[in-house]
Structure 1
């Protein structure tokens, strides 16, 4: 009976089903973990006040929010050197985010549950998100203007929120001036410098050119002086305000509001207040720039860089992939050479992505980019323009990486078109090119679109080749801006996949960055899932459109 059962193949069906089910459970579990850790990062947690017995036996006060907990068995705790009482069967420890890194030197601290003598959650406990040094935990004492107290006691909190709103408005104006207006001036001055050097190389640096460039430079200098005067006024205005808060040790700390992003009292917040706070934090994550070595703030430059790179890659890979597939299927003589090319294309799909990165760095960046600089940008030497990793080379490298996917998918789509369709079109007087362009390719478009979006999904998650051909930890400017030629293909950019790697493994404060890693990973997964769902929808719509012709 057992032999017959095995010969029937049912055990292998059950084994395959068990393997698939296990994989699905693991994938769902991983996505669940990423979702909980990523989405939960933005919810305002309660901040406790703990009366804690230190190692020296003295009592101390600790402010912080619980972020993790561990339970160590009695035997493991004793072997680790902890002194355990007879009535204890396990050692429970909590990880607290205590913030105040500029005061204590650390953001996190582990404490033992058995040493907590008292804990409470005061309503006046305050969390201050800062542009530097991470969060501050304490209790508001006073609000100051020009070092003079303007509010204290019950009036301090409303006054603080009002002054923070004013400071944020001024900070946005400063950011606009520094990155847009002054950035435009600096960009224009750099172009004038390169223009002067180009004229000198071409022996056209005469009095007329000197006067023209001097007039242009004087115009930029006047704007720069005007912006600098306005900046000085704004900086003087934003530095007027500060807050005074008491730390866990009882010391008073002054924090300039110029360094404050927001302040809130999580223990006093109601449910709807927390939802509103969560909405604001999530919006900041999606639309703002990173700060604190990418461990705080948003990831908009990484989202923008990822999407822009994928779009440019799609524009490059689609025509080359479709043309190659059409040639192999419709024009090339089917023989040994064609089979060899198909084998090579299939093998290219299995080459490690980092190999493409090395090839892109060696050929595209150093050889091709170096020759472009020598021919078209000699005035920029010795600084490279295209002879350095950038957006264009990253897009071309990923286009080369995903090209086999588009070729194979398009070929499969072309192979499914009935021969009678081609013969009918030719019989009606159409040329072979007209038949391909007007009949065959539209009917093969479901396969073409599926291959393209699968390629996009793969490109969106690649990291290894991008580390060599253009991605950076923090890009000072976006590749697309208001300065001519608007799309700067030579610039370096940020990427979601590399952002996860950098924050998770290269950050100086890994513990603080861990929630951001989960949130960014969740966003990247959602992008890839969305692209694959789009592939299914587009494929199904195109199939329905051309089903009658195939029949």
Structure 2
């Protein structure tokens, strides 16, 4: 046994076991998040049963079972429920009933005691709405312009309802495109005219120049007004078609509700769907989650603006941090004179890597946003004042703050890569007549490129998951307009963005509907992890390609 310990085998097994345990824990965590998050998009069966409330009255309910738990009967009695004295433990179920416009709460706990048998009616439907959350009930009739078009007694009812809902969704997308793209372009042009006129006034243009400019502005405004009237007429015509149809439905208690079809995203009958139909519905809802905009205080809809904002911010941050980090490392390693001052600078760089990220956020808000941004507005955008352009949190300042946050990582990785280049390669280049600069930029730096990419990979991994500083320098709760559009300069660095990390924080801790937000927190968290993995794998692939390229060149 003593010889076995001396051989080092136990420590090898210990390290291997620790690594295996870490892998199991990581895989288990990701599996838990995936099940809790992505399982939310599976069409759950809709149950119908009766319950006894605290006053002893019987009610009929309809909804989805979310989860159940066992509680002491004393707790249930303290809550006002009637539980037999000989019962010590009782099961309660959390039922998602929806219908927030009918009843104040869409999630409710019900005790198993006094609950009737669970039924799964085939005609029970689930309606995903743009407002008021989901609706659970039974259809009665479909109306067009207030007149009954078809009732549930007709065999063509569900086909007609499906076609009209699909038509309503398409009309909604067309209206959304008109309002965001066409009307947005017109508003952008009108704002540019206003700024041009204001610029001429600030420059002190004479009356003749102003008169000529006013005539041109009036002509451009008239053209834009004509375009707006045409686009507005198209939009109003679509709105008339959109508001034509309505669905009359009944909730479990018997109350009738009229739902406008323009407020409906999807109508499903989970109890009447097979496995393959549910799988198709699952993929459709999951794709909508990745590509749609959020709604209902971020508890419904998708997260595409957050995904786009995260990727855009990381890309801009990478473009900023890479040249500064590489140049700083090259100077410190190759040109700076070794001494106490340089050692102090290196210690400062190492310490910067351990500064809390919120400190960078406060610095970015004070220096980048208020000082630099305010100065830029006064110098280049005086016509926009007092409304700030760059003197307010936005994409550029968020990216710049993260670049400052990750700069020490890039510097340290690049310096280590430069130090690994053998001295013989440098001496060989110098012996062949190359200057120090040519040796550095044509021989040493290309060979150290994989190390630079390693620093960038670490920077991307940290930047993509940061939240605290971004809350101060450009990330907001809701920004459905993307920072890239068809209006010059196309990439709007002054615009605020959404971010997956902040979206998780907002949905998890600021949501007015905790139960509705819970699965979206898991789904968004796993999406963020997968996004970071994709970004890292892309950077790793580039690093490996560079490594093979320069390794073959050196051979």
**TM-score normalised by structure 2 residue count:** 0.94
1:309 alignment counterpart: 313
1:474 alignment counterpart: 478
Q: CA deviation at 1:425?
A: 1.1
Q: CA deviation at 1:394?
A: 0.6
CA distance in 2, matches of 1:124, 1:83: 33
2:179 alignment counterpart: 178
Deviations 1:117-144 (A, max 9, x none): 1210011110001000000000111011
CA distance 1:496–1:428, shift in 2 (3 Å): same
- Determine which of 249, 254, 259 is the counterpart of 2:253: 249
Q: CA RMSD in A?
A: 2.3
CA distance in 1, matches of 2:413, 2:156: 67
- Given that 2:53 and 2:81 are in contact with CA atoms closer than 8 Å, whether structure 1 keeps it comes out as no
Q: CA deviation at 1:539?
A: 3.6
- Given that 2:54 and 2:81 are in contact with CA atoms closer than 8 Å, whether structure 1 keeps it comes out as no
CA distance in 2, matches of 1:79, 1:61: 24
Equivalenced residue count is 550
Q: CA deviation at 1:349?
A: 0.3
- Given that 2:131 and 2:296 are in contact with CA atoms closer than 8 Å, whether structure 1 keeps it comes out as yes
Deviations 1:178-235 (A, max 9, x none): 1110111111111111111111111225211010000011111111111222222111
1:121 alignment counterpart: 120
Q: CA deviation at 1:75?
A: 6.6
Q: CA deviation at 1:328?
A: 0.9
CA distance in 1, matches of 2:513, 2:74: 32
CA distance in 2, matches of 1:448, 1:27: 27
2:415 alignment counterpart: 411
CA distance 1:459–1:428, shift in 2 (3 Å): same
CA distance 1:148–1:82, shift in 2 (3 Å): closer
2:285 alignment counterpart: 281
CA distance in 1, matches of 2:203, 2:546: 56
Q: Say which SS state the counterpart of residue 491 (structure 1) adopts.
A: coil
CA distance in 2, matches of 1:44, 1:328: 59
- Given that 1:171 and 1:258 are in contact with CA atoms closer than 8 Å, whether structure 2 keeps it comes out as yes
- Given that 2:49 and 2:61 are in contact with CA atoms closer than 8 Å, whether structure 1 keeps it comes out as yes
2:68 alignment counterpart: 69
Deviations 1:224-260 (A, max 9, x none): 1112222221111111100011101111111000111
CA distance in 2, matches of 1:530, 1:206: 54
- Given that 1:418 and 1:550 are in contact with CA atoms closer than 8 Å, whether structure 2 keeps it comes out as no
1:95 alignment counterpart: 94
Deviations 1:428-472 (A, max 9, x none): 122222212221111111111111021011111101010000001
Deviations 1:277-311 (A, max 9, x none): 11111111111111111111111111111111111
Q: CA deviation at 1:171?
A: 1.0
- What does residue range 134-533 of structure 1 map to in structure 2 within 5 Å? 134-153=133-152, 154-204=155-205, 206-533=210-537
**TM-score normalised by structure 1 residue count:** 0.95
Q: Does 1:36 align with 2:40?
A: no
Deviations 1:464-522 (A, max 9, x none): 01000000111142111000111111110111111111111111112111111111100
Q: CA deviation at 1:423?
A: 1.0
